[in-house]
Copies of this chain bind each other. A is one copy, B any other.
Amino acid sequence: MTLTESPAAPAPSSQRLTTAKAMVQGLELEMARDDSVIYLGEDVGSYGGIFSSTTGLLDRFGPERVIDTPISETAFIGLGIGAAVEGLRPVVELMFADFMGVCLDQIYNHMAKIHYESGGNVKVPMVLTTAVGGGYSDGAQHSQCLWGTFGHLPGMKVVVPSNPYDAKGLIISAVRDDNPVVYMFHKGVMGLPWMAKNPRSMGEVPAGDYTVPIGEASVVREGTDVTVVTLSLSVHHALDVADKLAEDGVETEVIDLRSVVPLDRRAILASVGKTGRLVVVDEDYLSYGLSGEVVATIADEDPGLLRAPVARVANPDVPIPYSRPLEYAVLPRPERIEAAIRKVVGA
């Protein structure tokens, strides 16, 4: 038993990979293609990333490009910013998004604002990778999603893959983007051998180079009765629930946002325009976050699209409890999602 992984085997033209391995493959391709891409963070070298985000990169690219840092997030994220300003394309890992509190200034006041403050004259082509999410009893300081917080603060794109294909395509897009991009991977979608897995955390991935556009949601399941707008691990749960409800004749459309910034409002409106019913499933905190924004998107445009009150399945503004029954009560577990859909469709 080990929390580290062995490097992925050489790649055929398409392979079944875990999300983690797909992410690493995207990084590997970009690092091979572009010498200015480097990866910095805690335990990203010989350990290969606590959540296997860098397995094998040190061996392939060496310690000048895959760099273990001290536990000094402000310094090394800031270093990434300065390096990006001077033309490198650093990927910098914040081990858990929960740790943003020790370094948010570099992220939101510098990485995200320099381009604007310089009137467009300075570019910051940096990627900030970070692990999010709970469900394995890691407590209030190691289980948060916080994409609402990142999304609220302007100047950075925020992408959130839920599966291997998107993980690879989005990391490649993120590295190539001339803007700062925050890349939030849920530990529960990575397909780690030491964590509960949904079959959806393993999937077919093209071996070569491809991108997933940042800012386009994906309709991962079509349906006519109700729209579920969600992202990250909750996509897995929503699809499981949708399959189950289909047996009862409820056809659920599931939208995987894939990025929080930009938010694909058109996709939300199109789907709710069709189904007339909306459930937002968000593992982040309820208030002042993603779920409210998605709902408001409809009311901004036309509240008449809605044939019923919406339901928001989110963390009810509670620090994430350690004990399993409590944690499961605040997370958007399948049972809560199912209950919410049933209520909204009146089934």
| A residues in contact (CB < 8 Å) with B | 74, 98-109, 112-113, 116-117, 139-141, 148-149, 151-155, 260-261, 263, 278, 284-285, 287-293, 295-296, 298-304, 306, 308-312, 315, 317-319, 321
Please measure, in the bound complex, the distance between the C-alpha atom of A177 and the C-alpha atom of B291, giving whole angstroms: 29
Give the residue of B103, B278, B290, B309 whose beta carbon is less than 8 angstroms from that of A301: B309
Give the residue of B103, B104, B105, B299 whose beta carbon is less than 8 angstroms from that of A295: B299
Q: Cβ of B112 and Cβ of A101 under 8 Å apart? A: no
The count of identical subunits is 2
Q: Cβ of B101 and Cβ of A108 under 8 Å apart? A: yes
Residue of B nearest to A302 (CB): B309
Min CB gap A336→B, angstroms:
15
Min CB gap A334→B, angstroms:
21
Please measure, in the bound complex, the distance between the C-alpha atom of A14 and the C-alpha atom of B140, giving whole angstroms: 46
Chain B hits for A308, CB < 8 A = 303
Min CB gap A262→B, angstroms:
9
Residue of B nearest to A293 (CB): B292
Q: Cβ of B117 and Cβ of A140 under 8 Å apart? A: yes
Residue of B nearest to A158 (CB): B288
Q: Cβ of A151 and Cβ of B288 under 8 Å apart? A: yes
Residue of B nearest to A74 (CB): B102
Give the residue of B99, B154, B299, B306 whose beta carbon is less than 8 angstroms from that of A105: B99
Q: Cβ of A139 and Cβ of B152 under 8 Å apart? A: no
Known A113-B140, A303-B309: A285·B319 in contact at CB below 8 Å? no
Chain B hits for A295, CB < 8 A = 292, 295-296, 299-300
Question: What are 19 A-B interface contacts by the 8 Å CB criterion?
Answer: A74-B102, A98-B109, A100-B104, A101-B104, A101-B106, A101-B109, A148-B152, A149-B153, A152-B287, A153-B285, A154-B318, A154-B319, A260-B288, A278-B299, A292-B293, A298-B299, A301-B309, A302-B309, A303-B308
